[in-house]
Structure 1
């Protein structure tokens, strides 16, 4: 029996991990994009402190 031979479950698990990783990366890109658009459009205003009143 060869040590380097992968079992079928490892191949399926690797494919699932790649899929989850791509979904996570896509989610991060969407959140980052929404943040950039919101900040550059000027919709974001930092909370005003009580000292500015």
Structure 2
């Protein structure tokens, strides 16, 4: 019986403990990724508008 309890405890995984520094760095990394993604979206939008030309709104429907 004691061996079964030892076996069950052996497979338990402890949740990671985040320090304040790790949380701060993760938040900064997430913000950097968000800004990069927003920049790529703006870049694709601008490139699309430039390729379509300025008169794209004046074309017949």
**TM-score range normalised by the length of the shorter chain:** 0.5 to 0.7
Unpaired runs of 5+ residues, structure 2, are: 1-13, 55-61
> Between Structure 1 and Structure 2, whose CA radius of gyration is higher?
2
Aligned equivalents of 1:30, 1:3: Cα separation in 2:
39
Unpaired runs of 5+ residues, structure 1, are: 43-53
Q: CA RMSD in A?
A: 1.7
Bigger helix share:
2
TM-score by length of 2: 0.59
Residue equivalent to 1:8: 20
Matches within 5 A, 1:15-26: 15-26=27-38
Equivalent pairs, count: 41
RCO greater where, 1 or 2, for CA within 8 Å and sep 6 or more?
1
TM-score by length of 1: 0.67
